[in-house]
Amino acid sequence: MSRATPRKARHTRNPSNLIPAVSDYESDAAAMQASYAPPPPRTNTELNLSVLQRYLPSIQGILSIAANAVIYTFDSSSESWDKSGIEGTLFVCAQSPAPEDASHHPRACVFVLNRRGLDNLVVDLARVSHVEIAGELVILRVEAGWEEGDKVLGIWIHNDKDETREINGAMIQESWKAVQSVGASGQGQEAGPAMQAIGRRLSLSDLFGKQNGAAAGH
């Protein structure tokens, strides 16, 4: 008797045209990945501006920056300068007009982010009666209440780059002149390049270019 030949097992093949179904979750995730676009990177100026606006929302632009500044106060009794305990990055800032100001006078301030404590320095340049650059110090006489009397501040700016001290000192002085001129006259007349800088961006090359041009004309 002949033996029955064993049958070979049949291999089942999936048709090549069958594609596994994609779940709704997977399709939604794929669509989200395809449509997602990362936000554009922000510049250092934009990052600094966002930090300053957390403290003072009226700040609308940064006119100049110094990486490090030390604040001194003048002691009239001993006629000496004392450290105030405030030290950090200095910003000269343009501010939006005060809400109650119907004439929309421009404003500016000096802002120092204090790295030695929680108290930052904010000097409203409209309350400064005198600005003077004496050697390595920018001296501000800040008006206070009649009981307190005026306060004299000295700002020492670290000259980490060429003309850092000169640029920031000039910007403080020009911004102060601009604010004082507008506040005194109410006419909005120009007092120098900083008048144009408050309310819009003005490059430092514009500032010193105009100053150099004016000096050459005399």
The predicted structure's pLDDT at residue 12: 57
More confident residue, 108 or 44: 108
Is residue 211 over pLDDT 50? Answer: no
Is residue 92 over pLDDT 60? Answer: yes
The predicted structure's pLDDT at residue 32: 59
Q: In this structure, is the dihedral angle defined by the CA atoms of residues 62, 129, 119 and 146, taken in order, positive or negative?
A: negative
Q: What is the pLDDT of residues 34-82, one digit of tens each?
A: 566 666 777 888 899 999 999 999 999 999 999 999 999 998 888 889 9
Structure-token pair, residue 105 = 């006078």
Q: In this structure, is the dihedral angle defined by the CA atoms of residues 179, 181, 183 and 186, taken in order, positive or negative?
A: negative
User: What SS3 class is residue 179?
Assistant: helix
The predicted structure's pLDDT at residue 61: 94
Distances in Å between the Cα of 184 and the Cα atoms of 64, 126, 172, 188 are 25, 10, 18, 9
Number of neighbours of residue 180 by Cβ within 10 angstroms: 17
**DSSP string for 95-113:** EPPPTT-TT---EEEEEEE
| pLDDT band per the 50, 70, 90 thresholds, residue 216 | very low
**Global pTM value:** 0.66
Q: Which domains does the chain have, with CATH numbers?
A: 44-182 (2.30.29.30)
Q: What is the pLDDT of residues 168-206, one digit of tens each?
A: 999 999 999 999 887 554 433 333 344 344 434 344 344
Structure-token pair, residue 176 = 């102060």
Q: Provide the angle, in degrees to the nearest 10, between the axes of the packed helices 204-217 and 164-185.
A: 80
Q: In this structure, is the dihedral angle defined by the CA atoms of residues 76, 86, 175 and 162, taken in order, positive or negative?
A: positive
Helices (H), 43-138: 44-55
The predicted structure's pLDDT at residue 21: 54
73: nearest Cα among 145, 12, 149: 149
Q: What is the pLDDT of residues 119-161, one digit of tens each?
A: 999 999 999 999 999 989 999 999 876 556 678 999 999 988 7
